[in-house]
Structure 1
Amino acid sequence: MSTFDEKDKAYSVFKVELGDSSFDKIQRNKENIESWYADPKGVLRLGIAIDKKDDKFIASIWYRAKKDEALKMIHTHILGEDSTFSIQGLNEDGTKAYVLSDRVLHRQALWSYDIESGEFEELVYSNDKYDINNAIVNSEGDFIGVGYYDDFYKSHYFSEVDGKQERMVTNLFGDKQASIVSRSKDRTRILVNVISDSVSPTYYYFDLNTKKGGAWLSKFPYLARNKFVPVQNYSFKASDGAEISGYFTKPEGIKAPPLIVMPHGGPHSRDYKYFNRELQYLVSLGYAVLQVNFRGSEGFGSAFETDGYYQWGKRMQQDVYDAMDWATKTGLTSKNNACIYGASYGGYVALTAAWQEPDRFKCIISISGISDLKELVEDEERQDAYLGNIVDMTDSKAVDALSEVSAINMINRIKAPLLLIHGTKDTRVDYRQSKYFYDKAKRNLDIKYVEIDDGTHFFDDPESLKVQYKEVTEFLKKHL
């Protein structure tokens, strides 16, 4: 296993004895490598280092043909600019790599790559619409398929035996989404994840020899017997003609409920149709929820994602407004009765909407959100490889222009009441992004700031989530 080594002050590789948890270091860090890859025999062959140069993040691939050879660099690429290059693993003798790349097709696909020549060899698998997300590897290190997302995670297996087993499981659970997440070596025992948009996830265990099995573990046991509402797909043409898709969920029995627009974080992630307890909670309160896979969202091909680069507060933002206009024009929800509610980048969208469209929303909720974009990109402690997708850091005028799409500089344009929630242990977005905005806005706006001691970026502890749900519920009840 690879983990951060305090002694080396870098990522080193350890051999761990599972029986007694003892471990030995088998590879000290070299070349500032952050990720290591072994061949199926356990020999370390590849390492990936990421370095910053001239405000760009450069990934370097290091390789050795034999265990006792020195590492040599075989490939470099600039993250966010060059074709993607994500190693999924190696063949048995370590001479070829299986790589996810958006080269040629402009969608991420699985390719074979000859390490010695540094050349791609052949296309292993691609999907006509979606990016390939990962290669599927069995317990022996063999590549047996690929996974990708449409509304849910889907698997494609190279072997008819594995494909037939997956189809059997899918047919068994009907309209629910079922996927095999683990197999025994002989393929006779399987663990299956079953979920849908309105059913919380449950794991099932099956022994195919004895033809016995059943529910094994529920992710949310306290929700397992609850009935939830289905999520609807939608797509429409944005104001510039591009096709945008997303999800709309509404409570049953209400013709035109108040609307919550809920942009996802990232921004280079996406919304899925999976069961979402936060979404279902909001719907249970009587609100409709609109989710948007705006420009910049991942999984829909490279062009769709890169169309969101340098578009904070611009095209990505407009896609959200266009989706809301579509929802009101189609009669799914009433006009002028909406709140926008987002976390992380979604919090940035919410705060930006507050001043760009001050009459569109009755209330604004930002969780771990960004109010000062220029401060974010200049915060060296939180800079990462995606920084170059926000702005060209070598262009000082472009960096300065981020102030023009930052809510902290547009407080005088805001009308709607705001709720800000942020944790003090947020390592992605400094909690002062919310605190300083509150300090500057509190004299002139209806605003509440909730600071959660030791809260992380994702509020991944129960107490933080309780605070979030309580504050959001009370705020929505008052303003929407």
Structure 2
Amino acid sequence: MLGKFGAAALLSILSVQAAGAQGAAPASAFGRLPAVQDAAMSPAGDQLAIMGGGPVARTVRFATIDKPGEALLGLGDIQTMDVRWVGENYALVRAAYWQSTGPRNAYRFERNIVVDNKGKVISQLLEGDSPSVYALSQPVLGVVDGEKPKALVLGLEELVDNGEGNLNTRLVRKGVVNPLVWTLWRVDVVRGRGNIAERGTPDTKTWSVDATGEARVRIDEDALNHKTTLYGRAKGEKIFKLLARLDGDTGYMGYSDTEDAAYVVETAADGTSQVVRRRLAGGAAEPVGKPVRNLDVGMLWDQNLTTPAAIVSGGERPTYEWLDPQLAGVHGSLSRLFKGRDVLLTGWSKDRTRFVLRVTAPDQPAVWHLYDKARKEISPLGEEYPELKDQPMGQTRWLTYKARDGLEIPAYLTLPPGAPASGGRLPLVVLPHGGPAARDRFDFDWWVQFLASRGYAVLQPQYRGSSGFGDAFQRAGEREWGAKIQADLLDGIASLGAEGVIDPARVCIAGASFGGYSALAGATLNPDAYRCAVSVNGVADLPQMLSETVTAYGQESNSFRYWRSVIGSTANDPTALTSISPARRVTKATPPVLLVWGERDTTVLPAQSERMRDALRAAGRPVETVVLEKDDHYLSSSAARTRMLEATEQFLAKHLPVKP
């Protein structure tokens, strides 16, 4: 039921008047940034910080439960990401901005802004600590509450610029230039200044800290060989000691402060994964929870990342094995209340009496709630897509199909609103996700539902190489970008066509990032399968991409090592990458292509889309382009998302009309 304690005030926190639309909602209703992007609860459980706002102007609002009124921090069109509390009086707002380091180079920086509970900006973490100001991101690894709260932040110690405006950061020691090295900083939240707490090595990726902010686990990584080394420092000890050497079948999950132990997941040759606890003081590994097979395993932690809450396994939707009986009871009750939807506990008070939760399903835009266990009351905090309220949504179902080599490929299939479950030879848009080591979720997807609202069936294959379905499944996609991964998409089309759900002669492919690569690969490597292709920030030239990575980060960087391991290199076979690069495979058979790219994309550089555009024009093939000014790789503004959707709708209407 709706709680009595300030429910009206909470509802007003992010109220947006939904537009009454006849028929399908406009692209702007799907493409807007969420009205509620994140919500965090203070440790005592009496205050909320809610990030969101309108399609353009972003805000963070602070509300005290049981009291009227709120404090507002207006952020304008700044790109916001998340919010978390540090003690009872301050919150960290993670945001991004762009800065030029040379005449042709702009970089995306992520920063942590400190705001008090009155909505006033107090400081920015590590703002005055050069050269940490040049770190592209400064992840917060932990916080220490109290009268003088601290944040533990990844930063840099020293660097040099190559003089060309490229941010090739290097650690300089004794005149030797080595790869970038991370350091752990202990930062005074109020002042924003910090001191170095730990120095890493060239292989150090991150640390885990305890509740007092002391580093307890150091994680070193060799991305090329899929090797991770853990070093632990037990409480009462001064030096780090080797804790474990992990290969690609073993992954680090986090550190438990109360147990002074590291959690890892180990995967056997048969695909069975087991979470184990390794105490820093020594001793045998202890199994925790039940083993699962052929699924990725993760863990849910408390807000400070020091207490394990649940083991989470993949599949169609998340499965929780709770390690905390109290949280298990709360989640079970809420899951029964919101039957058929995914309930995520995003935060809770220290006394476990109040909880923030996000409730969603593929056909239901997420709604955020506040749950008061003592009062047995639930109050809505806001809807992510309020303009879509009461709009019919496409129904999504989970399916699997066999690839041509016998591998089972899972997928989500969404049909247009009102379509029968059998489909009926519908036009299809294949929408492969990015990554490729990523996956689609049991969640509302604004791009999918927009396409469905326009009359298209949408297939989201979880092709080999996707995460979520076990390490062997993910590794099966390595060096198969242009081959077996693309075949997995074709086999999904064939399966749905054989069932009569879709018309296999009326198919287009669309995607972003690696999904954009797949769209372009489909158009060039398998042109007979698709009527058209839509690439958003997609990779088009693999040798060029590797060259760009070396220029930006160096040949010894983990970034280059990773891409070389999953894509391949030109060292042994110069033609291996050329043969699967869409920009080098354009022919007279290539179908029409829509290229959309962000002007400020620093993940897949605009040069990739420009290279594809030029190749299509040179071959006399139809190509349309949309340049998203001042936008990045992630379509981080409502304007960019909406423009992409509108361009896609118009493009599909020409080349894949719903009514043939």
TM-score normalized with structure 1 length: 0.90
Cα gap change, 1:399 to 1:70, in 2 (>3 Å): farther
Pairing 1:172-187 to 2, within 5 Å after superposition: 172-187=337-352
Q: Are 1:24 and 2:164 counterparts?
A: no
Looking at structure 2, the residues matched to 60 and 282 of structure 1 have their Cα atoms a distance apart, in angstroms, of 44
Pairing partner for 2:572 from 385, 397, 401: 397
Looking at structure 1, the residues matched to 639 and 236 of structure 2 have their Cα atoms a distance apart, in angstroms, of 48
Deviation at 1:370, TM superposition (A): 1.2
Q: Tell me, what secondary structure is at the counterpart of 2:327? A: helix
Looking at structure 2, the residues matched to 439 and 283 of structure 1 have their Cα atoms a distance apart, in angstroms, of 32
Residue 12 of structure 1 aligns with which residue? Answer: 183
Deviation at 1:324, TM superposition (A): 0.4
Residue 284 of structure 1 aligns with which residue? Answer: 453
- Report percent identity of matched pairs: 25
Q: Tell me, what secondary structure is at the counterpart of 1:386? A: helix
Looking at structure 1, the residues matched to 226 and 340 of structure 2 have their Cα atoms a distance apart, in angstroms, of 43
Q: Which moved more, 1:408-417 or 1:366-375?
A: 408-417
Deviation at 1:362, TM superposition (A): 1.0
Q: Are 1:334 and 2:510 counterparts?
A: no
Residue 425 of structure 2 aligns with which residue? Answer: 256
Residue 447 of structure 1 aligns with which residue? Answer: 623
Pairing partner for 1:48 from 203, 214, 219: 219
Q: Does the CA contact (< 8 Å) of 1:40 and 1:90 recur in 2? A: no
Deviation at 1:363, TM superposition (A): 0.8
Looking at structure 2, the residues matched to 150 and 58 of structure 1 have their Cα atoms a distance apart, in angstroms, of 25
Deviation at 1:281, TM superposition (A): 0.6
Q: Deviations over 1:26-67 (max 9, x none)?
A: 514332433121124432112223457xx6565443333357
Residue 301 of structure 1 aligns with which residue? Answer: 470
Pairing 1:330-369 to 2, within 5 Å after superposition: 330-369=499-538
Residue 254 of structure 2 aligns with which residue? Answer: 88
Pairing partner for 2:306 from 121, 141, 147: 141
Looking at structure 2, the residues matched to 93 and 170 of structure 1 have their Cα atoms a distance apart, in angstroms, of 29
Q: Which moved more, 1:3-12 or 1:395-404?
A: 3-12
Q: Does the CA contact (< 8 Å) of 1:131 and 1:301 recur in 2? A: yes
Q: Does the CA contact (< 8 Å) of 1:234 and 1:247 recur in 2? A: yes
Q: Does the CA contact (< 8 Å) of 1:2 and 1:14 recur in 2? A: yes
Structure 1: unaligned runs, 5 residues or longer: none
Deviation at 1:286, TM superposition (A): 1.2
Residue 473 of structure 1 aligns with which residue? Answer: 649
User: What code does the residue aligned with 1:293 have?
Assistant: Q
Q: Does the CA contact (< 8 Å) of 1:169 and 1:179 recur in 2? A: no
Q: Are 1:436 and 2:635 counterparts?
A: no
Looking at structure 2, the residues matched to 5 and 242 of structure 1 have their Cα atoms a distance apart, in angstroms, of 43
Looking at structure 2, the residues matched to 92 and 160 of structure 1 have their Cα atoms a distance apart, in angstroms, of 16
Looking at structure 2, the residues matched to 469 and 164 of structure 1 have their Cα atoms a distance apart, in angstroms, of 41
Greater relative contact order: 1 or 2 (C-alpha under 8 angstroms, separation 6 or more)?
2
Q: Tell me, what secondary structure is at the counterpart of 1:336? A: strand
Looking at structure 1, the residues matched to 187 and 370 of structure 2 have their Cα atoms a distance apart, in angstroms, of 28
Cα gap change, 1:390 to 1:128, in 2 (>3 Å): closer
Looking at structure 2, the residues matched to 440 and 201 of structure 1 have their Cα atoms a distance apart, in angstroms, of 41
Looking at structure 2, the residues matched to 333 and 411 of structure 1 have their Cα atoms a distance apart, in angstroms, of 27
Residue 65 of structure 1 aligns with which residue? Answer: 234
Pairing 1:229-248 to 2, within 5 Å after superposition: 229-248=394-413
Deviation at 1:371, TM superposition (A): 1.3
Cα gap change, 1:2 to 1:108, in 2 (>3 Å): farther
User: What code does the residue aligned with 2:258 have?
Assistant: E
Residue 423 of structure 1 aligns with which residue? Answer: 598
Cα gap change, 1:130 to 1:325, in 2 (>3 Å): same
Pairing 1:80-229 to 2, within 5 Å after superposition: 82-92=248-258, 94=260, 96-103=261-268, 106-115=271-280, 120-137=285-302, 141-229=306-394
Residue 463 of structure 1 aligns with which residue? Answer: 639
Q: Deviations over 1:82-130 (max 9, x none)?
A: 3233141134363x31113334563543211244559644354432452
Structure 2: unaligned runs, 5 residues or longer: 1-150, 160-180, 554-558
Q: Tell me, what secondary structure is at the counterpart of 1:164? A: helix
Q: Are 1:36 and 2:207 counterparts?
A: yes
Residue 3 of structure 1 aligns with which residue? Answer: 153
Q: Deviations over 1:417-454 (max 9, x none)?
A: 11111123222212111101211221311112222233
Cα gap change, 1:16 to 1:182, in 2 (>3 Å): same
Looking at structure 1, the residues matched to 428 and 361 of structure 2 have their Cα atoms a distance apart, in angstroms, of 23
Cα gap change, 1:391 to 1:416, in 2 (>3 Å): closer
Looking at structure 1, the residues matched to 293 and 237 of structure 2 have their Cα atoms a distance apart, in angstroms, of 42
Q: Does the CA contact (< 8 Å) of 2:156 and 2:183 recur in 1? A: no
Deviation at 1:314, TM superposition (A): 0.9
Q: Tell me, what secondary structure is at the counterpart of 2:494? A: helix
Q: Which moved more, 1:415-424 or 1:104-113?
A: 104-113
Deviation at 1:296, TM superposition (A): 0.9
Q: Does the CA contact (< 8 Å) of 2:568 and 2:577 recur in 1? A: no
Cα gap change, 1:74 to 1:413, in 2 (>3 Å): farther
RMSD: 2.6
Q: Tell me, what secondary structure is at the counterpart of 1:397? A: coil
Deviation at 1:392, TM superposition (A): 4.4
User: What code does the residue aligned with 2:207 have?
Assistant: W
Q: Tell me, what secondary structure is at the counterpart of 2:601? A: coil
Deviation at 1:272, TM superposition (A): 2.1
Cα gap change, 1:7 to 1:397, in 2 (>3 Å): closer
Looking at structure 1, the residues matched to 354 and 416 of structure 2 have their Cα atoms a distance apart, in angstroms, of 40
Cα gap change, 1:85 to 1:267, in 2 (>3 Å): same
Cα gap change, 1:284 to 1:93, in 2 (>3 Å): closer
Deviation at 1:265, TM superposition (A): 0.8
Looking at structure 1, the residues matched to 506 and 314 of structure 2 have their Cα atoms a distance apart, in angstroms, of 33
Looking at structure 1, the residues matched to 460 and 636 of structure 2 have their Cα atoms a distance apart, in angstroms, of 22
- Pick the structure with more strand per residue: 2
